[in-house]
């Protein structure tokens, strides 16, 4: 079973603010400032507003909407309530985002009835206990369950039985399948393929010639409803990154430095919380006109400390050749993980100094978790190394 909360952030705002109900609600950046739509209510979608749309475009389409800044802590608390409800239904729940989860309901028929009854019960429990609406899809694997929940939105409930798989899949556009992005869809359409039915009738050798063995097999299997049915094994996060969009383009080196330092601290805190350390640091720079560049550096030792991440990010900026240009967005990322590796500080530090550093960051993280980001930060050595 796949559960997806409908317009989650906007629905929480409408629930908690009765005056917002039945009105278009847009959660994200505020009009007149840079940024995008995080999510929007279905009343706003009538006007063509969508997630990830620039806020300026959303305002042009729907100036009468209620615009709200995201309150992630409140949404996370509601998400925790929802996941607790799911855990009471099945011992195998895999949250995949703040508002989505897969639930293995194999063998629960004796307790709760047929799959459709289990899905209906889940929706009812969430509505009664959290006062929010969700869409649920049930299928023999993750792909089918996810597509079924999408097909019924909003407030949907759809079960795809084994004998219904092909009839359900065939009419769908190929773009509904997993991993089919803009570039892939262009290649698929050049082959004259529009629907899943078209894809299913396409020769595998032709797909291999176009997409390579792995990509072709991925498409070939999806068109036949073949996918993983494993729930509960959360895949490793490929990278941890944070970005900031400026209200006005900036070129002041100190402002850029301060922003990179703050982003590095956020990345470091998340990395340590997950017990990881990364070997590859990345810097993202966006200028006006959405001109975007990335720079990466592979390090011999792994990082998980704010200062080490910042120094690497700042070094990438200094070597980028972009100094002096007005910047619209900055981002810092860390990837290629080494699990439970001590943080890299000074390479010549003694064991006692490294232990002390670990304790400092542990205290810093505890305070940040309790009082919020920016409540306490570390100073930097004058030597930037």
* Rounded Cα gap, residues 45 and 62, in angstroms: 9
Catalytic residue among 43, 94, 100, 266, which? 100
What does DSSP assign to residue 321?
Answer: T
Please report how many Cα atoms fall inside a 13 Å half-sphere around the Cα of residue 46, on the Cβ side.
10
* Rounded Cα gap, residues 20 and 211, in angstroms: 47
Query: Coil, strand or helix: which one is 93?
Result: strand
Our answer to whether residue 100 is catalytic in this structure is: yes
Q: 204-214 burial by CB neighbour count: b if 16+ within 10 A, else e?
A: eeebeebbeee
Please, are residues 284 and 329 in contact by the beta-carbon 8 Å criterion? yes
Query: Coil, strand or helix: which one is 240?
Result: strand
* Rounded Cα gap, residues 186 and 181, in angstroms: 9
Query: Coil, strand or helix: which one is 169?
Result: helix
* Rounded Cα gap, residues 58 and 56, in angstroms: 5
Return the number of other C-beta atoms located less than 10 Å from residue 232's C-beta.
12
Return the number of other C-beta atoms located less than 10 Å from residue 13's C-beta.
23
Q: Which residues are catalytic?
A: 100
């Amino acid at each position: 079973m796949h559960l997806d909360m409908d317009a989650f952030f906007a629905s929480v705002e409408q629930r908690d603010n009765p005056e917002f109900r039945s009105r278009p609600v847009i959660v994200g950046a505020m009009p007149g400032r840079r940024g995008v739509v995080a999510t929007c209510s279905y009343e706003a979608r009538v006007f063509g507003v969508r997630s990830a749309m620039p806020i300026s475009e959303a305002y042009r389409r729907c100036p009468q909407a209620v615009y709200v800044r995201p309150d992630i802590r409140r949404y996370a608390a509601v998400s925790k309530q929802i996941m607790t409800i799911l855990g009471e239904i099945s011992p195998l729940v895999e949250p995949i985002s703040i508002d989505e989860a897969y639930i293995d309901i194999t063998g629960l028929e004796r307790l709760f009835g047929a799959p459709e009854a289990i899905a209906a019960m889940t929706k009812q429990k969430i509505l009664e206990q959290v006062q929010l609406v969700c869409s649920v899809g049930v299928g023999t694997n993750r792909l089918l369950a996810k597509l079924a929940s999408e097909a019924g939105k909003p407030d949907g409930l759809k079960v795809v039985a084994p004998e219904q798989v092909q009839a359900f899949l065939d009419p769908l556009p190929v773009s509904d399948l997993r991993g089919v992005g803009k570039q892939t869809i262009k290649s698929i359409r050049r082959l004259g393929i529009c629907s899943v039915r078209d894809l299913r009738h396409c020769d595998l050798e032709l797909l291999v010639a176009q997409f390579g063995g792995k990509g072709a097999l991925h498409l070939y299997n999806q068109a036949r409803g073949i996918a993983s049915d494993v729930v509960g094994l959360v895949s490793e996060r490929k990278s941890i990154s944070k970005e900031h969009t400026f209200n006005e383009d900036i070129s002041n080196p100190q402002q850029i430095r301060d922003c990179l330092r703050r982003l590095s601290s956020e990345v470091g805190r998340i990395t340590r919380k997950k017990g990881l350390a990364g070997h590859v640091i990345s810097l993202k720079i966006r200028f006006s006109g959405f001109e975007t560049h990335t720079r990466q550096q592979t390090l011999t030792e792994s990082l998980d400390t704010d200062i080490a991440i910042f120094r690497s990010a700042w070094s990438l900026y200094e070597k980028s050749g972009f100094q002096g240009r007005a910047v619209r967005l900055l981002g810092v990322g860390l990837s290629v993980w080494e699990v439970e590796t001590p943080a890299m500080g000074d390479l010549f530090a003694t064991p006692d100094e490294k232990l002390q550093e670990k304790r400092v960051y542990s205290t810093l993280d505890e305070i940040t978790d309790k009082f919020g980001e920016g409540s306490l930060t570390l100073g930097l050595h004058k030597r930037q190394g």
